[in-house]
Amino acid sequence: MLFINFIAPPVGLVFLTLQGYWVWGGGPKSLSLMLVFVGLFLAFMPLWFYLNLRYRYSATRLTENDCVLEFLDEHIVTERPGFSKGTVEWAGIQKYSVGKNIVLVYLGPNVFFAIPKRAIPRDGESALIALLQRKMAKK
């Protein structure tokens, strides 16, 4: 991410600037075109990456229905009404993290349940965090 957001755009702008000097100095057109394409690609790489991530997210959505999560002492029940229902044992939960607007419950390095805090009842947030702390303390 460091390269995509902070290094690639300035390098792309340098390539575009060099291309201008190259054409002005009478350099070969083929190198000039290469500098333009590479410069534009690098300069717009963060935008391309962002749009690609948005597309991939929307392409992997199974349905537009909400997912219902029920946290019980024995396990977690997940359900997409009219589509699927499953359970996740507490042994399968690796960790959790609480952010400003979201709670993430990790099943693996890149696999997690994302629970927006706006979807949790006011009194349910502290109960959910207490349950997660209690279950993670046993590991």
State the Cα–Cα distance between residues 63 and 138, nearest whole angstrom: 35
Tell whether the model's pLDDT for residue 131 goes beyond 70.
yes
What dihedral angle (degrees, nearest 10) is formed by the CA atoms of 78, 84, 88, 93? -70
What dihedral angle (degrees, nearest 10) is formed by the CA atoms of 17, 2, 34, 55? -120
Number of domain units in the chain: 2
Full DSSP string of 79-134? EETTTEEEEEEGGG--EEEE-SSEEEEESSSS-EEEEEGGGS-TTHHHHHHHHHHH
Tell whether the model's pLDDT for residue 63 goes beyond 80.
no
In this structure, the answer to whether residues 97 and 124 fall within a common structural domain is yes
pLDDT tens-digit profile of 68-105? 899 999 999 999 888 889 999 999 999 999 999 999 99
CB 46 within 8 A of CB 106: no
In this structure, the answer to whether residues 99 and 41 fall within a common structural domain is no
In this structure, the answer to whether residues 88 and 130 fall within a common structural domain is yes
Name the residue range of residue 110's domain: 68-137
In this structure, the answer to whether residues 132 and 72 fall within a common structural domain is yes
Distances (CA, A) of 94 to 23, 85, 105, 114, 130: 57, 21, 8, 14, 16
Q: Tell me which of 60, 83, 103 is where a domain ends.
A: 60
In this structure, the answer to whether residues 72 and 128 fall within a common structural domain is yes
Tell whether the model's pLDDT for residue 31 goes beyond 90.
no
Q: What is the pTM assigned to this prediction?
A: 0.56
